[in-house]
Amino acid sequence: MKSKLFPILVMVGLLTLVGCEDDNCIFNPVPAAPQGVFSITGDGAVYLYWYGPYEADIVEFIIWRSDEPVHNYREIGRRAAEANPSLDLIIYEYVDEGTDVRNGKTYYYAVSTVDAAGQVSDLSAEEVFDTPRPEDEVVLYDSVSAPGLSGWHFSSYSRIDPSHADVFVDTVDGIFYLNAGNENTDLQDMGYTETFDDIGWAPQNGWSENGWAEIIPGHTYVIWTDDLRFAKMRVESIHYDDGFVLFRWAYQTAPDNPELAPRSDGLEKPVHGPEYLRKDNKSTTLK
């Protein structure tokens, strides 16, 4: 287990004597640390989840945060534990939000356990870090009918014409397509997702060789912009009669941020052939 510098003094000793009868001493061990700690990225917020220990005398959890992976963790909040006499598996949530949580800044988290005797566990072992990022919804129209409302530029959060957009929408034979805005932007259809949060990491490979993908309701698309930021867009609905698509989007403002990309120094942009972004190559492969 990777140790973190514990920011407070824990009660001396690994076991605390709570009573003795004759030659049989009863000890109350320090509680186990939470397990399976993970996070989900939000807009100006980080959602933390963990599994409570299989112990009946847990009263609360302490949530810790740092600006670095190992040192300088400080308490940012507490979460009361649920009564657990049957020692069931309980999943807990804590939302870190407020004026001191900024989009584009990476935070490191840990959780500890407190029992009824006031004993505090070690910090959780998992390396949990997260970088909040903006998210919202946007309506994009077909580039022929409304070119100025068809493209989306992530860094400026604005609808613009396709020539300056990161991605844009067009139609061919009544089918909507999402297009890379230039030859240095990549995208990939990640398939159907139940929720917007289902996709939290960009893929290592599998980027579109065409520079476009058919827009399908419920599908999530990951975008790798030409300035090396990652984003995702989920299709909430398609309005064929009115000629627009409603997307939910999220954009990681930090370049090469691990929250939307695997932590790999070897992640390189694909080399595209001459067919990339050619409109006459479009064909409907999914119905």
CA distance 167 to 208: 13
More confident residue, 83 or 28: 83
Q: Are residues 69 and 193 in the same domain?
A: no
The predicted pLDDT at position 266 comes to: 56
5 assigned to some structural domain: no
The predicted pLDDT at position 15 comes to: 40
- Element at 66 (helix H, strand E): strand 58-66
**Above 90 in pLDDT, residue 243?**
yes
* Rg (the chain; Cα; Å): 24
Q: Are residues 275 and 151 in the same domain?
A: yes
Q: Which of 71, 97, 130 is the last residue of a domain?
A: 130
Q: Are residues 87 and 101 in the same domain?
A: yes
Three-state DSSP string of 151-207? EEECCCCEEECHHHCCEEEEEECCEEEEEECCCCCEEEEEEECCCHHHCCCCCCCCC
The predicted pLDDT at position 202 comes to: 78
Mean of pLDDT values over 160-172: 96
Q: Are residues 144 and 251 in the same domain?
A: yes
Q: How many structural domains compose the chain?
A: 2
Mean of pLDDT values over 274-287: 67
Most confident of 9-13, 32-36, 196-200: 32-36
**Above 90 in pLDDT, residue 232?**
yes
Mean of pLDDT values over 57-62: 97
List alpha helices for the chain, DSSP H: none
- pLDDT, the chain, mean: 87
CATH code for the domain of 120? 2.60.40.10
93 forms beta bridges with 49
Instruction: Collect all residues with Cβ–Cβ distance below 8 Å to 235 and sequence separation of at least 6.
Output: 215, 216, 217, 218, 219, 220, 221, 245, 246, 247
Q: Which of 130, 154, 177 is the last residue of a domain?
A: 130
**Above 70 in pLDDT, residue 279?**
no
3 assigned to some structural domain: no
Q: Containing domain of residue 192, as a range?
A: 135-281
Q: Are residues 165 and 243 in the same domain?
A: yes
Structure tokens at 17: 């004597």
2 assigned to some structural domain: no
Q: Which of 130, 149, 175 is the last residue of a domain?
A: 130
Q: Are residues 179 and 144 in the same domain?
A: yes
More confident residue, 66 or 201: 66
Band of the pLDDT at 117, cuts 50, 70, 90?
very high
CA distance 159 to 166: 10
**Above 50 in pLDDT, residue 197?**
yes
The predicted pLDDT at position 4 comes to: 53
**Above 70 in pLDDT, residue 182?**
yes
Q: Are residues 148 and 22 in the same domain?
A: no
pLDDT digits (tens, 9 = 90+) for 1-26: 334 544 433 333 434 444 444 444 45
